[in-house]
Amino acid sequence: MDARNSLQERLSRPLRVGVSLLVGSIIVTTWLGATRRGLEYDEIWTLREYAHAPSIGRIFSDMALANNHSLNSLLVRLTTSLLGDTELAVRLPALSPGQCCLSVCRSLFTV
């Protein structure tokens, strides 16, 4: 049994390192891409129409267009008020849950 356990330990370490490197590279690549690429049309629309709206109520009352995702628009308003009108501030509400999912996957596969 000891030989079998030591073999599993020797194999699991490279797997954990590999998964950690893969997840880390995905996170770094995603964040770099989010900061270096210009805003897309729907992001500009959310920024202009909802993040810079005179009141927060507009985010929840203007449902005429399919582009208004209320929670995302509210979080974009919050992040742009804290960080300014940068690409990262606009994309942060959408990026954060994805990064959390990657971290959860890493913890599941490196037990």
pLDDT digits (tens, 9 = 90+) for 20-71: 788 788 888 887 877 778 888 888 888 898 888 888 888 888 877 777 888 8
Q: Is the pTM of this model over 0.85?
A: no
Interatomic CA distance for residues 92 and 75, integer angstroms: 8
8 A C-beta contact, residue 106 and residue 20:
yes
- Residue spans per domain, the chain: 2-109
